[in-house]
Amino acid sequence: MPTVLAALPLALMLALAGCGSGDDSGTVASAAGVGSGGAGADGATDGATATSSPRPGDLAVKFAQCMRENGIDMPDPVDGRIELRIDPSTPKETVDAAMAACREYSPQANGSAGSDPEMEAKSRDFAACMRKNGVEAFPDPDPGQRGIIIGPEAGDDPDFQTAQQACQGILSGKA
């Protein structure tokens, strides 16, 4: 089940790109966003204009709601983090249809526009760190791509969580 890792300016974002590995373990995807805001009951906003882009935290909540409405069981984000475990028995068509229906709310699809050379460099350094820390199948990001697409050979690696903890500071600039 491929997964996308994308770097936001302050956090690591994991978002599901698709499904279909055929293995029997669910894949976890999480996305870190920022706090929510928006219109109150009277329609007043908290400072955002009608033309501003939605905040990643707002998108994460809408994404989770949309995914549930389209047959994918997932909780609302906690502290802006999406946790998504896809039951391996869920048909690929269901996952693909839900992802397509919810694309407009996907924090991955709605990240910063265009390519960020500094973030691309951090993503390459993150990938190298993941390999150095035992996840040999962790790929480099493609040039101009927001995020890194990984498959089960990297995502299911027993060293993945430990390596991610060791490397996460690279993306936030704390390494």
For residue 38, give every residue at least 6 positions away whose Cβ sits within 8 Å of its Cβ, in sequence order, or none.
45, 46, 48, 58
Rounded CA-CA distance 171/173 in Å is 5
Query: What's the whole-number mean pLDDT along residues 94-122?
Result: 75
Both tokens assigned to 145: 């791509």
How sure is the predictor about 56, in pLDDT bands with cuts at 50, 70 and 90? low
Domain boundaries, given as residue ranges, for the chain: 3-35+52-114+147-160
HSE-CB for 75 with a 13 A CA cutoff: 8
pLDDT tens digits along 13-55: 333 333 333 333 444 444 433 333 334 344 444 443 344 555 6
Q: Smallest Cα–Cα separation from 147: which of 2, 1, 10, 15?
A: 15
In the chain, which ranges are E strands?
Answer: 3-8, 11-16, 28-29, 84-85, 148-150
Q: Give the range among 6-10, 111-115, 139-143 with minimum mean pLDDT.
A: 6-10
pTM for this one?
Answer: 0.46
**Torsion angle (degrees, nearest 10) of CA 124, 55, 17, 137:** 20
Q: Smallest Cα–Cα separation from 16: which of 89, 102, 79, 78?
A: 102
